[in-house]
Amino acid sequence: MATRSAPSDRRPLELADHLECTTLSSLLRGKLCEQLKARPARRVPAGRVLYVRGDAARSVFLVRSGLVKTSMVSEGGEELTLRVCPRGEIIGELCWCSGERREQAVALEASEVVEIPLTDLIAQLKRSPEAMADFIVAACDQLADAYDKLESRSFESTAARLVRTLIRLARDLGEQTANGISIPHYIKQEELAHLIGARREVVSTWLNRLRARRLLSYTRKGRITMDVSGLAAYLQTLSRARTQSERG
């Protein structure tokens, strides 16, 4: 990571120092960094690692096309996916908290990424009070989303975590079709398992159950199409069942 400036130079960013790690994606979808998107892109084949935990971190990456995931991998090889990032998202923002990568990034499909030096982003924020205000609002949104994910993984059943994750994927990746919200990317069951912290076999079982309820449809190597309102209603049913079980 670039050498930190003296405290007097950093004063305009002091409030955001511990929020920066989770807010860049929201900012870079807006007008703040439109000019940075014009930089040359790097092609990343499907399955290629963009960076790994421990690598030096001096930049973030804008996903110009394709699909890239970020994840944590334990020493034993267990993986937990943090985010699945489509076009327009930023990865590598956790580097703002330390001088090295705190997660790994892998292309789920052939992708193009644009590397953006941290110094360029800092300069943008220093020049624009409006951008700084947007930064703080984005921080609140991202923090709320992080709390939701933590609550889900801590207290919800595997089924509820899967349904909630499918709804989130529909929101972030989905396209409206005549049959519901369709995800225009091939999301493997193994990747869904990594997203919710479960075994692939369990995910497969629940996907079949959701399909039997006509809440989604999918092919072996195709799109998942969802009835999002139906999934949301089913999630409420699962939540009520959990509450009743706890009271009983």
Domains assigned to the chain? 7-145 (2.60.120.10), 156-247 (1.10.10.10)
- Whether 117 shows a pLDDT value over 80: the answer reads yes
Using CA atoms of 220, 153, 166, 72 in order, give the dihedral in degrees to the nearest 10.
Answer: -60
Task: Summarize pLDDT for 2-48 with one digit per residue, the tens.
Answer: 333 333 333 333 323 333 444 455 555 455 555 556 678 899 999 99
Task: Summarize pLDDT for 226-236 with one digit per residue, the tens.
Answer: 999 999 999 99
Q: What is the pTM of this model?
A: 0.76
Collapsing DSSP to helix, strand or coil, 3 comes out as coil
Task: Summarize pLDDT for 129-174 with one digit per residue, the tens.
Answer: 776 776 666 667 666 777 777 777 778 899 999 999 999 999 989 9
State residue 91's pLDDT score: 83
Residues recorded for the chain: 248
23-36 exposure pattern, b = at least 16 Cβ within 10 A, e = fewer? bbbbbbeeebbeeb
